[in-house]
Chains A and B, each alone.
Chain A
Amino acid sequence: DTAVSQTPKYLVTQMGNDKSIKCEQNLGHDTMYWYKQDSKKFLKIMFSYNNKELIINETVPNRFSPKSPDKAHLNLHINSLELGDSAVYFCASSQGLQGSPRYGYTFGSGTRLTVV
């Protein structure tokens, strides 16, 4: 009974392609996030959505576009993929309108994207 599920777990694609990563949470959380983990394991926030509304948009190239059809889903679409986009992308969710600092986040298992 997965709490935050991401698909696919692995994605290998060529430069210039467009790809999407899907995320769904069944925890009833209001806020969802996308984080990027680079090759040095550093985790950095990309976006957050609260109940379908964009809350945080860090300095991410506009080739990356999040979409939240409802509060249980947050998808990430990436256009014109570049070699530097290779990373692990994590979806996460938290409770409450502004996250729930008390409890932290629940993370998905990550999507390893490899651009060749």
Chain B
Amino acid sequence: AQTVTQSQPEMSVQEAETVTLSCTYDTSESNYYLFWYKQPPSRQMILVIRQEAYKQQNATENRFSVNFQKAAKSFSLKISDSQLGDTAMYFCAFMNGGAQKLVFGQGTRLTINP
């Protein structure tokens, strides 16, 4: 079974700083997809960024980018120029290419301080 591990339960940075959230996963599959979801205090789950395993290029979405290391099974999220609105729980998630469920990590609580 696939597992996703986020080793940082909590992180805190100052506004405008850059922060990197870690995620590792375990799978024997070669075709899969990785995601980062954000859950602000409003509770809504918001897709931040996604990466297809067959793509070597790291995904970017504005201030959010990933460092995808397939051999190391690592998928970290970098948030540049952090903003107060980035304060949230961040979840790393994995899905097999042929599977039907997202498997989530334990989450990292990120706080951006003014």
Chain A residues in contact with chain B, CB under 8 A?
31, 33, 40-45, 48, 50, 55-56, 88, 90, 92, 98-99, 101-107, 109-110, 112
Contact = CB atoms under 8 A, between A and B. Distances in A.
A101 B96 contact: yes
Interface string B15-59: 000000000000000001101010100111101001010000000
Interface of A is mostly: strand
18 contacts: A31-B100, A33-B101, A41-B39, A42-B106, A43-B104, A43-B107, A48-B101, A56-B101, A92-B45, A98-B98, A99-B100, A101-B32, A101-B95, A104-B47, A104-B95, A105-B102, A109-B42, A110-B44
Interface of B is mostly: strand
Given A33-B101, A99-B101, A107-B44, 15 more contacts: A31-B100, A43-B91, A43-B107, A44-B104, A45-B101, A45-B103, A55-B100, A98-B98, A99-B99, A101-B32, A104-B93, A104-B95, A105-B45, A109-B42, A109-B43
A107 B93 CA distance: 14
Contacts of A44: 104
The list of the 10 closest CB pairs from A to B, nearest first, reads A107-B45, A101-B33, A43-B104, A45-B101, A101-B95, A110-B43, A41-B107, A104-B35, A99-B100, A109-B44
A104 B101 contact: no
Contacts of B110: none
A107 B48 CA distance: 13
Contacts, number: 64
B104 A42 contact: yes
Contact of A103 (B37, B42, B50, B106): B50
Interface residues of B, number: 27
Contacts of B104: 42-44
Given A45-B101, A104-B50, A99 B44 contact: no
Nearest to B43: A110
A11 to B, nearest CB: 14
